[in-house]
Structure formats: structure tokens, C-alpha cells
Chain A
Amino acid sequence: MLTKPLLYVCAAALAWNGAAHCEPLPLHLRDTGLYAEGSATQVSPRNLAFAPQYPLWSDGARKRRWIYLPPGTAIDASRPDAWEFPRGTRVWKEFSLDGPVETRFIERLADGTWRYATYIWNDAGTDATLAPADGVAAISKPGSPRDGYAIPAEADCRACHEGAAVPMLGFSALQLSSDRDPLAPHAETHSEIDLEGLVARGLIKNLPRALARPRIEASSPLERAALGYLHGNCGHCHNDNGAPAPVDLKLAQSATAGNAGVDRVLRSMLDAGVRFRAREQGQGARLIAPGHPEASVLIARIRSRNPQTQMPPLGTRVTDAEALALLERWIAEKSAHSESSTP
């Protein structure tokens, strides 16, 4: 039954990248290298747990993540915002509600291309099998959203991951910085390693010395957390990496740009020309209206779960109430004179 999805993945990879790899994905998660030999649940010590400080909202699912780097290899951080991962890098992200639901898997292949898959856990939590490449619209698991839990299609994986400078989202200097943001929504602690630890263990090379503990140089702790949330949840599409979105908006932070980088993001939010209009906002609404979250299109779209208007457009069916409150408070505390400098 799983032959077809496998063939599809290969065909899709060929169509997208012209890549010649068709090594089948393992049918079971336990065969991807995540677990210790002979186990389907005990993570191998060669895989390191990590946690980005600004995690992606996934309808309240709890997450655990691990990375594997082939022995003797290291990540090249010469380009601080676009790390070069060794061929053979593997990353897993486990999503849990009342129990494990799915574990997503990304691998960098020998030819430099990336492939994506997800494995769906059985109800007993003892085994996870390869999901169809077209995804599953809704599966029912204890703790699922009202409309069910959606398993992403392989194309959905690419839609988000390949909009960024590198497909490895959530594993970057800013996301792994030891200077953690205490106000970041949904902060996770399941981590064995951070940026400093990676450097100390020789798993990252060529990281500029000034980037030992990067942070978003915002004007207030509230703004730092708000911009961090937008970076982690929106920046993989709204950036300037050549993957255009309908709105000219830059929400991806640079680990190197400091204050100038923050100003650039804020300016793009103030200047963004938006076509979207929530009915209650009327004509002339702006992406950010300093002091007026109710008049800000950003808030309307992050609150919406209408499939045609919601942001992010995929991967979520439930509004992130905690983040919404954070962003509303941030915009409310901004004054109109922000227009002349930054909001």
C-alpha cells in the first residue's frame, strides 16, 4: 500500500529539482535513524535534541526535535543567516497531542537536495509509518482540533521550507542563541544543545565571533518577543530570499544586522501595501496601525482561520491566542509618532 507514496516522492523530487535520487524513504520511522538500534521509541544518543527559541505554532501540539550530523562533519556558518548543512544531515520533529501524532523528517541527500516526509504514529504510540505524499486532510486523535489533525502533503513541506534561505527552519544562530527570549510564546525546553554548545563541540565552523549570542535588538522586551514570533512563524515566506509573496514584507530577522535589521523589518511592516480587507476594518486598513490593533490587518489575518485569509496559510487550524495577545499588546503600545522612526 505504501509503494505509491514512495514513487510519488521520487517523482516529485525529480520534477522539482531534477535530482537523480530515488532512494526510497523507509516505511517506518524506526528505520530513519532516529532511534537506538532495535528500538522504536528510544532516541539514539547520536541525535541531539534542540529547541528553537521562537517555535512555529502548530495548534498547541507539543514538539520535540533532534538533529543528526554525520560523524566528522560540521555546519558551515560562513553565511550567518544561511547555514550550509553537511550532506547526510537529518532532522526530526515529533508532534504530540495527548500522545505522539506524527514525526516529520527532513534529510539532506548526497546530491545536496532535500527531501521531506512525515510518519504517522499508531494509537498505541509504538510505531510510526510513512504518510502518503499527498498528506491526510484530517486524522482523529485524542486532543485534535475540532476539524481533525491535518498531516501535511510533501508539497506543503516544500511550500514553507523552501521559501527560506535554507530549508532547515528553526535551526539557526538566532533560533539557537543562548540569549533566550523570556517572553517568546510557547517556549520549549527539550534541548541538549544550543549555539554555544554546538560551537564548543565543533559542530559549527566559521561562525563569526560576534555572533556568539545573537538576539533581536528591539526597543523593548515586548517588541523583541513580537518580532521573534513573526520571525519564527512568518519569516520563512516573508523574506527577501527570492521567493515572492503577494505582500512586499520582510519579517525574517538577520542574526547580523542588529538595530538596522530590526528597523528594516519594522519599516517593511509600516510600508506594506496590503490588498486584504477584513470586513470590520473597511477600506484603508493598514498592515500595522500603531496604537490600533483592531485596525491592523496583521492582527485580522493572524486571528483568522478562514482558509482563504488566515496567516500562516497552512499548518494550523486554530488561532494562536497567546501570540495574538502579544501582538495586539505590542501594536497597542506603539504610538503614532512611530511613523517617523520605527513603530
Chain B
Amino acid sequence: MNPSQPSSSARSALVFAAVMFAAGSAAAADGDASKIARGKYLVTTSGCHDCHTPLHVGQAGPEPDMSRMLSGHPESLVINQPAVLPAGPWNVAAAPTNTAWSGPWGVSFTANLTPDPETGLGKWTLATFTQTIRTGRHMGRGRKVLPPMPIPMYRNFTDEDLAAIFSYLRSIPPIKNRVPEPLPPAAPVASASASAP
């Protein structure tokens, strides 16, 4: 027997291993696909697009601009001051894109949830994402995540659902869009204040 040629039993073993590896990979891929599909379902039924995908005016009126899917407040729409509300029982104002919200907390801008490494969640880990939702703090340990982000509701997602959502968000096209930092309320609450970069 040519020592460089595998025996028939060895060939069988190799074929078996290859088949099993392929089956394992397929199972893993199926698992990933299933997880991503679950994440997509949750994202599209839990209102994420409502604020994180900018609205534009289509033929039927305002609709999500899916070319900017989940990329947050467009950096081209510059807002430097909180809204001045009319007289009456008003509390909150929103930009036409539905991505900037002015209220007693100041002005909040919805985050870029795409996997862009510089302006989105590209450098986030599942732990960062999960902790942000659980604690209601930016990256799990920074400033509070601001209204109207429904943290009190989303914090009730299971770990599995949050992992599925994160997997889906990792799978969507990255969009470079630098969302500004929040603006303070009109009446300063401290001596130092911030503005968007």
C-alpha cells in the first residue's frame, strides 16, 4: 500500500469527520440564523425602528428611511438647543425624524445601533449591550440612558432575547453616522455644561 495514500478505513473516517464537521457547521449556522431571525422579530415588534430609524416623508407620509436603518439620529440634522414648547400642558417635542427628543431631561438623540465600529455598536460586546439594558446606563456604567428609551420595559427581556437582538444588530449593514451627545436642559443644573461635538 502506498503509505502516502490513506487506507479505506482511514478514508471513511476522514469522510465521516468531514460530514460531521459540515453538519456541525450547518447546525451552528442554523442556530445563528435562528437567533438572528428571533432578534429581527424582536427588533421589528418592539418599536426599535420607531426611534432608531429616521423617518422621512414617503408617498404615504412619514415612514422609516430604511436606507438609514437603525443608524440613529442623523448627524446632518444639527440641533443645538432644547425645544421651546408652546403654552399648554406640553412636555416633550420630537424632531421630524423622530430621532431627537426634547423634554425636561434636555435633548436626547437616538443611538446608532448598526455595527459601525466608530459610530455604532461595533466595539460593543454582548455583555455591554445586556448591561446597558439592565442598568439603564450608557454602556452599562455611564450616564443614564435617556427618555424616551423604554428601559423599564426592555430590562424585562430575557438574556436569550437580548442575545438574539444583539446578534441581529451585528448582522445588519454598518452605517457611519456620528450621533451627537445629549444636550442639557434649557435651565442649567450645574456650572459646567456640554454641547454636541
Interface residues, chain A, with chain B CB atoms under 8 Å away: 12, 15-16, 18, 155-156, 158-160, 162-163, 237, 242-246, 275-279, 283, 300-301, 303-310, 313-314, 319
B139's contact among A246, A310, A319, by CB below 8 Å, is which? A246
With A159-B141, A306-B184, A313-B141 already in contact, the answer to whether A16 and B134 are too (CB < 8 A) is yes
Q: Which residues of B are interface residues toward A (Cβ below 8 A)?
A: 105-106, 123-125, 127-128, 131, 134-144, 146, 158-159, 181-182, 184, 188-197
With contacts A15-B134, A244-B124, A308-B184 taken as known, whether A313 is within 8 angstroms of B192 at the C-beta atoms is: no
B residues within 8 A CB of A237? 141-142
- Measured in the bound complex, the distance between the Cα atoms of B141 and A310 in whole Å is 13
* Bound CA–CA A162/B141 (angstroms): 9
Q: When chains A and B are docked, how far (Å) is the Cα of A103 from the Cα of B125? A: 33
Contacts of B139 in A (CB 8 A): 244-246
**Contact at A276–B191, with CB atoms within 8 Å?**
no
Q: Secondary structure at chain A's binding surface: helix, strand, loop or mixed?
A: loop
Tally A-B pairs: CB < 8 A.
106
Contact A309 B138 (CB under 8 A): no
A300 to B134 alpha-carbon distance, docked (Å):
29
A306 touching B189, Cβ below 8 Å = yes
- Alpha-carbon distance A275/B182, docked complex (angstroms): 12
Q: Is the CB of A313 within 8 A of B143?
A: yes
11 pairs across A/B with beta carbons < 8 Å?
A156-B135, A162-B131, A244-B125, A244-B128, A275-B181, A279-B195, A304-B192, A305-B189, A306-B194, A308-B143, A308-B146
Q: Beyond A155-B136, A158-B135, is A309–B143 a contact (Cβ under 8 Å)? A: yes
Q: A304-B191, A308-B143 given as contacts; is B159 within 8 A of A277 (CB)?
A: no
The residue on B at minimum CB distance from A157 is B135
For B106, list chain A residues within 8 Å (CB). Answer: 308
Whole-angstrom distance between the Cβ of A250 and the nearest chain B Cβ: 15
